[in-house]
Homo-oligomer: A and B are copies of this chain.
Amino acid sequence: MSDTETLSPLFNPGSIAIIGASNVPGKISNIIIESLKNAGFPGAIYPVNPHHEEVNGLKCYPTVAAIGHIADIAVFAMPADSVLNALKDASEHIRIAVVIGGGFGEMGKDGAELEREIKAVLKKKGIRGIGPNCMGIFDNISKTDTLFIPKDRLQRPKKGGLSIISQSGSFVVTALDELATEGVGVARVISYGNKADINESDCLDFLADDEHTTAVAIHMESVTDGRRFVEAAARCAARKPVLAVKVGKLGAGITAARSHTGAIAGRFEAYKAAFRKAGVIEIDGYEDFIAGCKAFGMNKYALGNRVMIITDGGGMGVTIADACHSAGLVVPALTNWAADEIKALVPKYFAVGNPLDLTGSVTDEMYVDTIEKTMNGDSFDIAIIAALWGPPGLTDNLVKLVGDKADKLFDKPLIICSPGGEFAKKKAKLFRRRGMPVFQTPEAAVRAASILARVAKRP
């Protein structure tokens, strides 16, 4: 079997065994079984624990062997020092081992030795492994969820086209929680931790061919094999946009990344070069990661970097224009034609330009009419709409009107910027419910626009 074929049970499991299943609510193994049920996992769930007959209402097996079938995935939910024996016991009866707990390579010499032994078992038995020291997988296609945080503390995003791979579990679950709130859909999420076996390149190889994945976001602390990464990333990026944030770049970060996933964070310049070579869009930190995921979650890409800014707050328009400039985006002047068309629509004392300031006299219709006049035609690639809700002429109907207009702007992303307090946050929710990407600050909106423009410029 090819490497990618051996991964197939990970992304399309028919059965999942939970080794060390517990009836105690709040225990990791218990949460995972609940998560799988909540996700609507359609295959068989096999709790395994010699001390129980039943766990979470499911028949519990004393050993994996006792199940009588090969389990596609076995999740090892137990302390680090129990994993090796449990893996040996299960090794003839599973295809993929997911080792979620910490206490391995990231924790010094003893942990590293344990990790090496696990790796040896995986190799000898031909089992593929995720982890250790990871959150495992969250997959809206196969309806698999090994994230061991209950749903009240961690929302799961709806189904979408974006897939995410991350070395850090805490980073990716925090991002998923935020993306769920933002209404961004995801396809497959893999938190691979210390990568005793499956690494970033394995995941990219799979996602390159995955028809459910339309874009990929990577959060990494290290690369296992630079050459293989560039090959896999290039193959993936040739088919769908790929963005990557590399952390643990500098100073303190390096030390922290080393202890965190047992990886020595490589020199950053080498990563920059690798991303460039592979056509991967390099981004920086959590805010960029979220902005990129939200931008890609729209499933709508820009053709260039020319931004039209429409707002009812002049000062906010200038701030957005400044941020565009800093990000390398262009804010071109209106054509005479567009300016004349807009002047015919708005009171004569409006200063018509880009940014376009619709002032406190703004109405819902002015927004859509001016979006129409500026975004139809080929002068602009991306629109940033910063509706400030002070003026009485703005109503909830703005959301519907702008949303309908956005649907018609083929290949022209429309980004909402909604800064402010409670009122603005409520209106932001309406935009989100309408399926639009909403950002709380001018700079965040510009981050998303900038990433979209960089996708447009890919070779």
* Chain A residues near B (Cβ < 8 Å): 26, 80, 102-103, 106-108, 111, 149, 152-155, 166-174, 177-178, 180-181, 219, 221, 247-253, 255-257, 259-261, 284-287, 290, 311-319, 321-326, 330-333, 349, 351, 353-355, 357, 359-360, 388-390, 392, 419-425, 441-444
- List residues of chain B with CB within 8 A of the CB of A355: 252, 256
Contact, CB under 8 Å: A177 / B259: no
Residue of B nearest to A104 (CB): B349
A213 to B: closest C-beta gap in Å = 22
Residue of B nearest to A424 (CB): B177
When A257-B318, A357-B260 are in contact, do A388 and B174 touch as well, CB less than 8 Å? yes
Contact, CB under 8 Å: B349 / A103: yes
Contact, CB under 8 Å: B260 / A154: no
A-B contact pairs, 29 of them (CB 8 A): A26-B392, A107-B351, A108-B351, A152-B423, A153-B423, A154-B390, A155-B423, A168-B313, A168-B316, A169-B313, A170-B388, A171-B313, A171-B315, A174-B316, A174-B388, A178-B420, A181-B421, A248-B318, A248-B322, A251-B321, A252-B354, A253-B318, A256-B314, A256-B357, A259-B314, A260-B351, A261-B314, A285-B323, A286-B319
When A102-B349, A259-B357, A390-B153 are in contact, do A168 and B318 touch as well, CB less than 8 Å? yes
Contact, CB under 8 Å: A420 / B252: no
> A219 is contacted by which of B26, B168, B250, B315 (Cβ under 8 Å)?
B315
When A314-B261, A349-B80, A351-B260 are in contact, do A252 and B102 touch as well, CB less than 8 Å? no
A82–B155 Cα distance when bound, in Å, is 55
Residue of B nearest to A135 (CB): B390
A187–B424 Cα distance when bound, in Å, is 23
When A168-B318, A389-B153 are in contact, do A174 and B313 touch as well, CB less than 8 Å? yes
A451 to B: closest C-beta gap in Å = 15
Contact, CB under 8 Å: B153 / A331: no
Contact, CB under 8 Å: B351 / A174: no
Among A251, A286, A389, chain B packs the most CB atoms within 10 A around the CB of: A286
Residue of B nearest to A151 (CB): B423
Residue of B nearest to A313 (CB): B170
When A260-B317, A422-B155 are in contact, do A170 and B390 touch as well, CB less than 8 Å? yes
Residue of B nearest to A31 (CB): B392
- List residues of chain B with CB within 8 A of the CB of A322: 247-250, 253, 284-285
A313–B221 Cα distance when bound, in Å, is 14
Among A103, A180, A319, A321, chain B packs the most CB atoms within 10 A around the CB of: A319
When A177-B421, A178-B421, A353-B255 are in contact, do A102 and B153 touch as well, CB less than 8 Å? no
A208 to B: closest C-beta gap in Å = 24
A398–B69 Cα distance when bound, in Å, is 46
A424–B287 Cα distance when bound, in Å, is 16
A283 to B: closest C-beta gap in Å = 12
- List residues of chain B with CB within 8 A of the CB of A180: 421
Residue of B nearest to A219 (CB): B315
A109–B128 Cα distance when bound, in Å, is 74
A195–B256 Cα distance when bound, in Å, is 51
A424 to B: closest C-beta gap in Å = 7
Contact, CB under 8 Å: A351 / B106: yes
A418–B168 Cα distance when bound, in Å, is 17
Contact, CB under 8 Å: A441 / B153: no
A26 to B: closest C-beta gap in Å = 5
A320 to B: closest C-beta gap in Å = 9
- List residues of chain B with CB within 8 A of the CB of A390: 149, 153-154, 170, 173
A388–B178 Cα distance when bound, in Å, is 12
Residue of B nearest to A444 (CB): B287
A415 to B: closest C-beta gap in Å = 15
- List residues of chain B with CB within 8 A of the CB of A442: 285-287
When A251-B325, A324-B252 are in contact, do A260 and B174 touch as well, CB less than 8 Å? no
- List residues of chain B with CB within 8 A of the CB of A111: 349
Contact, CB under 8 Å: B423 / A221: no
- List residues of chain B with CB within 8 A of the CB of A166: 315
- List residues of chain B with CB within 8 A of the CB of A360: 102
A389–B174 Cα distance when bound, in Å, is 9
- List residues of chain B with CB within 8 A of the CB of A253: 318, 321-322, 325, 331
Residue of B nearest to A360 (CB): B102
- List residues of chain B with CB within 8 A of the CB of A255: 333, 353
